[in-house]
């Protein structure tokens, strides 16, 4: 199947093995080739060639062709910035609305475009209300004061779940999951940047129980983090009970405990000055800290029980290849970005010291 798909592109080549010249002058054809070439498997060299060819010629069109319309220019700019298959649905929808609006009189169905804009704006109002609810919740628990060391990422955490589902019927699930992501981010910063190994060890021990009675056994600096955990997971358990899907919460809690253990291990490596092997860091720890198991499992919190079964979660809990691969990708991408930030800060600091 893969070879047949790739072989179809050979029809676009001439007898000399190069892509046919007329393709370089066809903006829409190049855009289609560019988008299709991103869906390549390893070893499909012709798709790699197609991507190089399409990218080069699309950039050339932007530089040399002064006759292309504003709509096509914006379409090419957007595609070169991010291909469609990497876009989240809402950002792609917003781009599409702009593109078709630029068509003006060329657009055959203006009423459909007007309806699409109304639909987009009405749904966006739902999203703004949800974000407001999350912000008010964070203020009500005095999050900025209780966690001054943590990253302020309320909007980003909400956007993550918005990337998974944006439909109005999943409003409750979005709000709950945004709170879960805030808890995960805060736990990460607590373990990495705030707590000592002994403090984090005590926190993880309490998380293993997820019992309010464990609060008194914690160091004072870890109590706010534990209260936040209990409050959010109590809320999602209550909501899941209304929908008959408490087994989803069981899975989400177990994955949260695994994540806490993995953060403790990372803290231990740092405290003891250990450098983990690739196997330890990427396979053992990275599978959990990459976030795929807990993010995918928690995404079903607040949804109807008939959407997913207990058997589905048992399959996911067996560390499938799909979850392992996805987590590895997330872990590596996260570390590459963090590494760039660290290098930037290092040279910025070094530069300021020498001047």
Whether the predicted pLDDT of 43 surpasses 60 = yes
**Residue 97 neighbours by CB distance under 10 Å:** 16
Residue 289 and residue 193 share a domain: yes
Whether the predicted pLDDT of 7 surpasses 80 = no
Domain of residue 47 covers 2-86
Residue 298 and residue 159 share a domain: yes
Taken in order 83, 86, 92, 95, the sign of the CA dihedral is negative
How confident is residue 339, by pLDDT bands cut at 50, 70 and 90? low
Residue 300 and residue 186 share a domain: yes
Which pLDDT belongs to residue 180? 94
CATH number assigned to the domain comprising residue 227: 1.10.600.10
Residue 137 and residue 43 share a domain: no
Q: What is the pLDDT of residues 47-65, one digit of tens each?
A: 899 999 999 999 999 998 8
Residue 180 and residue 64 share a domain: no
Residue 53: is it exposed, middle or buried by C-beta count within 10 angstroms (0-12/13-18/19+)? buried
Which pLDDT belongs to residue 333? 78
Q: What is the pLDDT of residues 273-298, one digit of tens each?
A: 888 887 777 777 777 888 778 888 78
Q: What are phi and psi of 19, to 5 degrees?
A: -65, 140
Instruction: Tell me the pLDDT of the chain averaged across its residues.
Output: 85
Residue 144 and residue 56 share a domain: no
In a domain, 311, yes or no: yes
Q: What is the pLDDT of residues 89-141, one digit of tens each?
A: 888 898 888 888 877 766 778 888 899 999 999 999 999 999 999 999 999 99
Q: Which residue has the higher pLDDT, 1 or 307?
A: 307
Q: Which residue has the higher pLDDT, 259 or 307?
A: 259
Maximum average pLDDT range among 133-142, 251-260, 313-322: 133-142
In a domain, 196, yes or no: yes
Residue 59 and residue 141 share a domain: no
For range 72-91, the mean pLDDT:
89
Maximum average pLDDT range among 241-245, 260-264, 315-319, 342-346: 260-264
As a whole number of angstroms, the distance between CA 212 and CA 234 comes to 11
The tally of domains found in the chain comes to 2
Whether the predicted pLDDT of 175 surpasses 50 = yes
Enumerate the β-bridge partners of residue 19: 13
For range 159-183, the mean pLDDT:
92
Please provide the size of the chain in residues. Answer: 355
Which pLDDT belongs to residue 299? 84
Residue 210 and residue 315 share a domain: yes
For range 27-42, the mean pLDDT:
90
Percentage with pLDDT > 90 across the chain: 43
The model's pTM is: 0.83
Enumerate the β-bridge partners of residue 13: 19
Of 70, 86, 102, which marks where a domain is finished?
Answer: 86
In a domain, 94, yes or no: no
Q: Which residue has the higher pLDDT, 352 or 43?
A: 43
Q: What are phi and psi of 13, to 5 degrees?
A: -100, 155
How far apart, in Å, are the Cα atoms of 283 and each of 288, 295, 319? 9, 18, 11
């Amino acid at each position: 199947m893969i070879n047949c798909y790739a072989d179809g592109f050979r029809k676009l080549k001439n007898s000399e093995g190069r892509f046919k010249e007329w393709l370089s002058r066809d903006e829409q054809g190049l855009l289609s080739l560019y988008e299709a070439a991103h869906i390549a498997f390893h070893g499909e060299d012709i798709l790699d060639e197609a991507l190089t060819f399409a990218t080069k010629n699309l950039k050339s069109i932007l530089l040399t062709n002064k006759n292309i319309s504003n709509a096509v220019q914006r379409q090419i700019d957007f595609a070169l910035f991010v291909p469609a298959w990497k876009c989240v649905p809402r950002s792609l929808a917003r781009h599409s609305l702009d593109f078709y609006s630029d068509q003006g009189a060329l657009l055959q169905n203006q009423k459909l475009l007007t309806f699409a804009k109304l639909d987009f704006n009405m749904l966006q109002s739902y999203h703004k209300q949800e974000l407001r609810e999350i912000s008010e919740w964070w203020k009500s628990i005095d999050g900025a004061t209780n966690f001054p060391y943590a990253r302020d990422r309320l909007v980003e955490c909400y956007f993550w779940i918005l990337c998974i589902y944006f439909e109005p019927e999943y409003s409750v699930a979005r709000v709950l999951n945004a709170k879960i992501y805030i808890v995960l981010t805060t736990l990460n910063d607590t373990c990495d940047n705030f707590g000592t190994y002994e403090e984090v060890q005590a926190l993880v021990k309490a998380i293993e129980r997820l019992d309010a009675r464990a609060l008194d056994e914690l160091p004072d600096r870890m109590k706010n983090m534990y209260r936040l955990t209990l409050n959010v997971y109590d809320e999602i358990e209550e909501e899941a009970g209304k929908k008959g899907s408490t087994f989803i919460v069981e899975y989400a809690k177990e994955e949260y405990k695994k994540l806490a253990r993995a953060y403790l291990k990372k803290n231990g490596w740092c405290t003891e000055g250990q450098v983990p092997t690739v196997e330890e860091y990427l396979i053992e720890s990275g599978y959990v800290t990459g976030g795929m198991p807990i993010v995918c499992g928690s995404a079903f919190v607040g949804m109807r029980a008939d959407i997913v079964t207990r058997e589905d979660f048992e399959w996911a809990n067996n560390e499938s290849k799909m979850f392992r691969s996805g987590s590895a990708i997330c872990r590596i991408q996260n570390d590459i970005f963090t590494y760039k930030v660290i290098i930037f800060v290092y040279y910025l600091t070094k530069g300021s010291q020498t001047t």
